[in-house]
Amino acid sequence: MKSWKHRALAAADAAENAVEVVPDETVVTPLEQEKPTKEGFFARLKRSLVKTKQNLGSGFISLFRGKKIDDDLFEELEEQLLIADVGVETTRKIITRLTNDASRKQLRDAEALYGLLKEEMGDILAKVDEPLNVEGQNAVCDSDGRRSTGVGKTTTIGKLARQFEQQGKSVMLAAGDTFRAAAVEQLQVWGQRNNIPVIAQHTGADSASVIFDAIQAAKGAQYWTS
């Protein structure tokens, strides 16, 4: 039987030879935050159109429901029309005519004013509700936007191009607006959607040279006969 002295020496040797166990330090790598995907131009355009549709619908209906006709109502209506991209000039005409009609007819019910609004907007649209017939062998549709921005010129060009194509016409687009940001790309997307060729150069190019190239391309592809 070992003495207490031997047991103490053995314990000391065991302690000296013991390997210190250090707990593993787990390195936690922070997850890289996903960068928000940048919304594309046409995604923003689609979102704006949806918002416009909503403003033209439920926004107007709730505006007139249970309200009385006063200056506050006309101010709210004016704001809704502007938000819905009706346009400043057209909005002013609508508000002026509705104000006069409401005063003349002594309307007290806002829902009756809503009926007048629909009639007024219907009259405005009826004046331009005519078919666009482009006659002749060669026709050039020029969209001049030097005095206006953001009124839907490029979108209208894309829609007209589609309409002309459905009528059996040979259509070619020329991106003459070389200075506005994304103008060339926007027209090219419309061309891709409708399978219509688009003649374009880089942003900032000479607009006249773009039109010249377009005419030459149209002649070469038998789009233009002379």
Most confident of 15-19, 37-41, 140-144, 177-181: 177-181
Does residue 1 carry a pLDDT above 80?
no
The string of pLDDT tens digits covering residues 7-31 is 555 555 554 554 444 455 544 445 4
Q: Rounded to the nearest 10 degrees, what angle do helices 71-83 and 88-104 cross at?
A: 150
The type of residue at 74 is F
- Give the pLDDT confidence score for residue 19 in this predicted structure: 45
Comparing 61-65, 89-93, 106-110, 222-226, the range with the smallest average pLDDT is 222-226
Tell which wins on pLDDT, 7 or 213. 213
Q: Using an 8 Å Cβ cutoff, are 4 and 12 in contact?
A: no
Tell which wins on pLDDT, 109 or 220. 220
CATH number for domain 51-126, candidates 3.40.50.150, 3.40.50.720, 1.20.120.140, 3.50.50.60: 1.20.120.140
Q: What's the mean per-residue pLDDT of the chain?
A: 74
Neighbours of 119 (CB within 10 A): 13
Does residue 155 carry a pLDDT above 70?
yes
Does residue 102 carry a pLDDT above 60?
yes
- Give the pLDDT confidence score for residue 127 in this predicted structure: 83
Instruction: Identify the residue whose tokens are 């509700």.
Output: 129
Instruction: Identify the residue whose tokens are 């594309």.
Output: 40
- Give the pLDDT confidence score for residue 22 in this predicted structure: 47
Q: Using an 8 Å Cβ cutoff, are 179 and 187 in contact?
A: no
Tell which wins on pLDDT, 91 or 59. 91
Does residue 142 carry a pLDDT above 60?
yes
Give the burial class of 76: count Cβ atoms within 10 A of its Cβ; 0-12 exposed, 13-18 middle, 19 or more buried: middle
- Give the pLDDT confidence score for residue 96 in this predicted structure: 92
- Give the pLDDT confidence score for residue 183 in this predicted structure: 84
Q: Using an 8 Å Cβ cutoff, are 74 and 99 in contact?
A: yes
Most confident of 49-58, 128-137, 214-223: 214-223
